[in-house]
């Protein structure tokens, strides 16, 4: 008896585990993000049909109590459309409610798209952060990328096909040299893996993009320097010093960006203004 979260294949049905098959075969109730998807999965796996209830953000308040009552009396299997329930999919709030109600909870190990993509990237995973879906607004996306690059951790996001190109452009604005890995349609017939800078990956992306994307950004090797606190920095003085030493506007902006003093685009504009001001005063 209790609540069992069952990860389902991202695409390739052979990724189902033996334990997952046992639970889906023997459960008393199947709780699914989309019951139509769940029924198709059972049919494809040659499993018997099960009573199926929908559980999603829009109806969670109405159905949670009923699901928990069924979990007290029997075994309730929880699935999302693909992958691990509760990771950018319905399930987390249901687990929290079951725990508060004293109902037994179990999670089966199995597919998770961001973990697969992170391992495929070959990036340093001694610190790995998963941040769900990227913000829709460009300014918020840039702040998210800036925060990730300054964290010292490799970071993974999910992204929709309609927004993946815009997200890569946002990342290029923040750090053109960032190392990026994209996995598209993991484990499916048209799986694709792309790696490089944001501009390189964007150039290799199909137009229009299709499928489900995981975006992985490597840890910034200069993050440790950015995290070290120090005295306030006079940006104009630093830029003037770099320009006086013979650095180009682009080089001065890049070096200050690496020190965590702003984005390259912002610093480039500021350095350009400082050079023009110096030329007028000369």
Contact of 72 with 103, CB cutoff 8 Å: yes
CA distance 41 to 13: 9
Q: How many helices (H) and strands (E) does the chain have?
A: 12, 10
CATH 3.40.1010.10, domain 2-107, yes or no: yes
Q: Span 6-30, mean pLDDT?
A: 97
The pLDDT, as a whole number, for residue 236 is: 86
CA distance 62 to 97: 13
Identify the residue whose tokens are 């109590």. 65
Residue 14 burial by Cβ neighbours in a 10 Å radius (0-12, 13-18, 19+): exposed
255 — pLDDT class (breaks 50, 70, 90): confident
Range with the poorest average pLDDT among 164-168, 237-241, 276-280 = 276-280
Range with the poorest average pLDDT among 33-42, 174-183, 206-215, 246-255 = 246-255
CA distance 51 to 39: 10
Q: Span 236-244, mean pLDDT?
A: 87
The pLDDT, as a whole number, for residue 228 is: 45
210 — pLDDT class (breaks 50, 70, 90): very high
Give the pairing of strands 128-133 and 154-159: parallel
The pLDDT, as a whole number, for residue 231 is: 60
| Per-residue pLDDT at 174 exceeds 80 | yes
Q: Residue length, the chain?
A: 282
Pick the CATH number of 113-223 from 3.40.50.20, 3.30.950.10, 3.20.20.10, 3.90.650.10: 3.30.950.10
């Amino acid at each position: 008896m209790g609540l069992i979260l069952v990860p389902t294949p991202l695409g390739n049905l052979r990724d189902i585990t033996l334990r997952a098959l046992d639970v889906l075969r023997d459960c008393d109730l199947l709780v699914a993000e989309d019951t139509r998807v769940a029924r198709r999965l059972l049919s494809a796996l040659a499993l018997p049909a099960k009573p199926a209830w929908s559980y999603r953000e829009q109806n969670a308040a109405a159905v949670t109590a009923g699901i928990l009552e069924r979990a007290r009396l029997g075994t309730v299997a929880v699935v999302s459309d693909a992958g691990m329930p509760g990771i950018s999919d319905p399930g987390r709030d249901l687990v929290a409610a079951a725990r508060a109600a004293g109902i037994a909870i179990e999670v089966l190990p199995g597919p998770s798209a961001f973990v697969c993509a992170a391992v495929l990237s070959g990036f340093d995973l001694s610190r790995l952060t998963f941040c769900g879906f990227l913000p829709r607004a460009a300014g918020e996306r840039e702040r998210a990328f800036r925060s990730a690059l300054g964290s010292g951790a490799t970071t993974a996001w999910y992204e929709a096909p309609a927004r993946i190109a815009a997200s890569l452009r946002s990342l290029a604005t923040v750090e053109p040299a960032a190392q990026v890995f994209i996995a598209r349609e993991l484990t499916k017939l048209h799986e694709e893996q792309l790696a490089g800078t944001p501009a390189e990956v964007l150039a290799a992306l199909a137009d229009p993009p299709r499928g489900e994307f995981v975006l992985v950004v490597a840890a910034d090797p200069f993050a440790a320097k950015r995290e070290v606190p120090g005295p306030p920095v006079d940006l104009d003085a630093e830029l003037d010093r770099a320009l006086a030493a013979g650095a180009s506007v682009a080089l001065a902006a890049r070096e200050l960006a690496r020190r965590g003093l702003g984005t390259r685009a912002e610093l480039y504009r500021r350095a350009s203004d400082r050079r023009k001001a110096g030329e007028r005063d000369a």
